[in-house]
Chain A
Amino acid sequence: MTDQTQQTATVTQPRPRTRSSGGILGLTKKDFGLLVLVAILTIFAPVILNPFPAGSAMAQFNAGYPDLMQRFVIFGIFAIGFNILFGLTGYLSFGHAAFLGVGSYAGIWSMKLLTLNVIPAILVSVIVAGLFSLIVGFISLRRSGIYFSILTLAFAMMSYALAYSVLTPITGGETGLQLRASDPRIFGGELMPGMTPRATLFGMQMQDSTDLRFGAWTFTLNTGYYIAGIVLLVAFYLSIRIFRSPFGMMLRAVKSNQNRLNYTGLSPKPYTLAAFVISGMYAGLAGGLLVAMDTQVGAERMFWTASGEVVLMTILGGAGTLIGPILGAGFIKYFENIVSTINKSTLESWFAFMPDGLQDAFVAVIYPFVGKGWHLTLGLLFMLVVIFLPGGLVQGGSKLATVFRRDRKGGGVEDDAAAQRQAREE
């Protein structure tokens, strides 16, 4: 076991001081790399997500259309925010969709009453959702564990029920709210009757798209998507800053040991409340972006399954990791949109090369899991992740990476994880 001694040596060596204060944008090299990675993915998503020529059999799996890409980005923001609460403090909220919904309503009212410009709409969304989460958080955080989860769930369900019934004048009830030409807008309300109001940013319309064609491939570059993408990058950058800040460390300390925190002169309550409000504001931001993109809102986006979905995204990607929630959100939205559009004839065409009996058998086995049955796949995936990969995709990835690296270097692994494991065994 020569590699063991090697590893021990690396542990005891005085470590190089890696805190060259500042770095780029105030981030360490590794974090900056992560930010660049997300930036590249965001910029080239219309290309990356459309790897198959339009019209080919595999075009089914293309996800590079604006509507879906906007959702990737927006739910990525939602999950990043949720992760600041759940990933860092361990408080499992089952009611975060309420903040997204409240943000959406606030945003659409800003576009109805103020202006069609999306910036005020998004700001209003964030502020209103922040205030609402302050109230909900202040009350819910008086309890912890499952009680906290149930309290947040209760608040979300109340919001949902109220939006559907009593608050219909504000929320539009079952029909929801849409932008209309007749809205009493203060700025830029000079729409002709019959014209559809569209969300804009200083003259740019969210729906505007440019198609790039390369042979059989078509890539759609959409204004709304890129605006949402910029917001995602800012949101991601801020979340890195929070993770690496004293505040972020305190949040992890809350998750780890509240007793010691108390006896270190720190009260966990303001920290958890601040995290709650921040994540509520992220949810509001996502809600505001949703209405900025499709200018409509309904109460169903506050239903508790929507809250469950963001939990799932965060867990699937890896709670408490930086990039996990973005991966999880992308994964789930991709599944939702792609797997659910696969139908029987698609399946039949895939397995057409097989003999008839075998083809039918394959189609029969796979069919329940696709199309309308995609929820089944989702539930199974959920269970598999929680059972086998409690750390989510990010953990799975790093496990794989460790295995590969070990193969290549013949055991001389120098990464932290292995060193720690070594130290633990001593």
Chain B
Amino acid sequence: MGILEVRDVGKRFGGLQALSDVNLSIAENSVHAIIGPNGAGKSTLLNCLVGKLIPDTGSVSFEGQSVLGRKPHEINQMGISRVFQTPEIFGDLTVMENMMIPCLARRDGSFSLHGYRSLMADREIVDRAEHMLEDMNMSNKREMHAASMSRGDKRRLEIGMCLAQEPRLLLLDEPTAGMARADTNNTIDLLKEIKAKRNITIAIIEHDMHVVFSLAERITVLAQGKPLVEDTPENIKGHPKVREAYLGESSGH
């Protein structure tokens, strides 16, 4: 029984069957990659996991509890955090404030009306946020406006914000898309470091094979809305079906 169980999930948009009969089990404390050519349904699947889309059929359960019908913020409170393709951070706020928000969310739940307490006098939150920034190697940027940072730093901050909530499952949606090689490698190192230090399950959707093969312990290949194979990176590399799915796709262009 994995930490995340996807059973017979199907999703249709008008005439397009985006997902059909997707079965997926992500084992606890593993790094699981989901790859596939464009239009394979990776993003649709991810959106079904976090509550942005509701699948037409099948079930998704996290630690034995169904996530279907819950709103994104409720699913997040269950212990699933998501990193977006383009970093989603609070651009108008400082880096420190960005980090304090998930710390508050973790401690106080989805809503709290602390309108009178001083934020900076809340030692527990301040210390925790500072600790997380140190972890992310961003302490020197704490007073910067988040929007003014480089893309790599934004990504680092976003990942840090997700970790500050201490999720059991971290979902990454093409975390290195549009990044320079150096930034990509930094991100890979960061994720490796996170995996080494924490008890966390990571699911990663990725295009870049370099990233996938440097990180993943298991890989699921999606093609045309269906899982094609699931195996270890070594076996996937030479798998004929995978080559077909990718090469077929590329020769078709």
- Give chain A interface residues in 221-261, CB to chain B under 8 Å: 238, 241-242, 244-250, 252-253, 255-257, 259-261
Identify B126's interface contact among A11, A19, A241, A244, CB under 8 A: A19
- Say if the beta carbon of B17 comes within 8 Å of chain A: no
Give the residues in chain B near A245, CB-CB below 8 Å.
114-119
Contact of A246 with B114 at beta-carbon distance under 8 Å, contacts A256-B90, A259-B88 already known = yes
Give the residues in chain B near A278, CB-CB below 8 Å.
115
Contact of A264 with B143 at beta-carbon distance under 8 Å, contacts A19-B121, A256-B90, A274-B113 already known = no
Interface of A is mostly: helix
Whether B111 pairs with A266 at a CB distance below 8 angstroms is yes
Most chain A CB neighbours (cut-off 10 Å) among B50, B74, B117, B121: B121
Give the residues in chain B near A248, CB-CB below 8 Å.
115, 119
- Say if the beta carbon of B110 comes within 8 Å of chain A: yes
Whether B89 pairs with A244 at a CB distance below 8 angstroms is no
C-alpha spacing A242/B165, complex, angstroms: 24
- Say if the beta carbon of A22 comes within 8 Å of chain B: yes
Nearest A-chain residue to B145, judged by Cβ: A420
- Say if the beta carbon of A367 comes within 8 Å of chain B: no
Contact of A247 with B113 at beta-carbon distance under 8 Å, contacts A252-B92, A256-B93, A423-B144 already known = yes
- Say if the beta carbon of A184 comes within 8 Å of chain B: no
Nearest B-chain residue to A19, judged by Cβ: B120
Identify B105's interface contact among A259, A265, A416, CB under 8 A: A265
Number of B residues with CB within 8 Å of any CB on chain A: 51
How near does chain B come to A250, taking the closest CB pair, in angstroms?
A: 7
Whether A263 pairs with B81 at a CB distance below 8 angstroms is yes
- Say if the beta carbon of A209 comes within 8 Å of chain B: no
Give the residues in chain B near A213, CB-CB below 8 Å.
none
Contact of A21 with B118 at beta-carbon distance under 8 Å, contacts A271-B111, A274-B113 already known = yes
Nearest B-chain residue to A22, judged by Cβ: B121
Whether A253 pairs with B119 at a CB distance below 8 angstroms is no
Give the residues in chain B near A265, CB-CB below 8 Å.
73-74, 76-77, 102, 105-106, 109-110, 165
- Say if the beta carbon of B197 comes within 8 Å of chain A: no
Whether B144 pairs with A270 at a CB distance below 8 angstroms is no
- Say if the beta carbon of A337 comes within 8 Å of chain B: no
How near does chain A come to B162, taking the closest CB pair, in angstroms?
A: 8
C-alpha spacing A15/B120, complex, angstroms: 14
How near does chain A come to B159, taking the closest CB pair, in angstroms?
A: 13
- Give chain B interface residues in 106-145, CB to chain A under 8 Å: 106, 108-123, 125-126, 139-145
8 closest cross-chain pairs (CB), A and B: A21-B121, A265-B76, A19-B120, A424-B148, A256-B90, A247-B115, A256-B92, A260-B88
Can you list 7 A-B pairs, Cβ within 8 angstroms, ordered by A? A15-B143, A247-B112, A248-B115, A249-B97, A263-B88, A265-B106, A266-B111
